[in-house]
Chain A
Amino acid sequence: MDPDAVAKAFVEHYYSTFDANRAGLANLYQDGSMLTFEGQKIMGSQNIVAKLTSLPFQQCQHAITTVDCQPSGPAGGMLVFVSGNLQLAGEQHALKFSQMFHLMPTPQGSFYVLNDIFRLNYA
């Protein structure tokens, strides 16, 4: 499958899961996965999902502006670089963010997130 198509499909799946069923993100991470969220480092699927489900908002909507991807090396990994807007329920203005994912292939033919780094982009 075309890498750009894989990256776009992953991004759509990731953010629609985030926005509709945050706990469902658990199967996109594994024990060795790492998240750095606004500078805070978290390791492992359970801890990562605990962090994401405890963020101080119930409802949110991600709107993606750009998706760039590149293969990361011989292991079949893919780097995905995203920018977009995050609208929180009840907030007047959307927050701007950038995020990078390093996806690694699973034996079943899909991808999991090995590295995940998220930053808000302040004006």
Chain B
Amino acid sequence: MEEQVEMVGKAFVDHYYHLFDNNRTALLSLYQPTSMLTFEGQRIHGVDGISAKLNQLPFDQCCHVISTVDSQVSAFAGGIVVFVSGSLQLQGEEHPLRFSQMFHLIPTGQGSYFVQNDMFRLNYG
């Protein structure tokens, strides 16, 4: 039987990548002013900056296929760390890109989570 934290992690991951692939502008609902993103080494702070970065990535359509999701309680304030690996297929590209990503989720107080920390790296062959 799956632990609670693994269920939350999987549900979040499904929601995050579904939004990313279908309605990228809606991702900003998952970040707050204190949120941080490190995208391929570039550091970005806050909702506007993160939203701008994700919406300006040089591709319109993409599809994330998730291989692994590991979650753990981060043991303060109900936070959860989630570690993802998978593939990113860009439209028109022959081969998918492999990536790893980690999220630190903090409860919003309304029964959901926001992304406090987000780090993304492509995994080159």
23 of the cross-chain contacts (CB-CB < 8 Å) are: A36-B72, A39-B70, A66-B41, A68-B38, A68-B119, A70-B43, A70-B104, A70-B119, A71-B36, A73-B116, A79-B81, A79-B102, A81-B119, A83-B100, A83-B123, A96-B123, A98-B83, A98-B121, A102-B74, A117-B102, A119-B70, A121-B85, A123-B98
Q: What is A's interface to B at a CB cutoff of 8 Å?
A: 32, 34, 36, 39, 41, 66, 68, 70-73, 75, 77, 79, 81, 83, 96, 98, 100, 102, 114-115, 117, 119, 121, 123
The residue of chain A having its C-beta at the shortest distance from the C-beta of B101 within the complex is A81
CA distance A100 to B80 in the complex (A): 13
Q: How large is the interface on B (under 10, 10 to 19, 20 to 34, 35 or more residues)?
A: 20 to 34
Which of A71, A72, A96 is close to B74, meaning CB atoms less than 8 Å apart? A72
The residue of chain A having its C-beta at the shortest distance from the C-beta of B6 within the complex is A41
Chain B interface, DSSP helix/strand/loop, else mixed:
strand
Question: With a CB–CB cut-off of 8 A, which chain A residues contact B76?
Answer: 73, 75, 77
Task: Verify A72–B41 contact, CB threshold 8 A.
Answer: no
CB-CB under 8 A for A119 and B74, given A70-B119, A72-B116, A102-B81: no
Question: With a CB–CB cut-off of 8 A, which chain B residues contact A121?
Answer: 85, 98, 100, 123
CB-CB under 8 A for A117 and B72, given A73-B79, A102-B81: yes
CB-CB under 8 A for A98 and B123, given A34-B72, A39-B70, A75-B76: yes
Residues 55-107 of B contacting A (Cβ, < 8 Å) = 68, 70, 72-77, 79, 81, 83, 85, 98, 100, 102, 104, 106
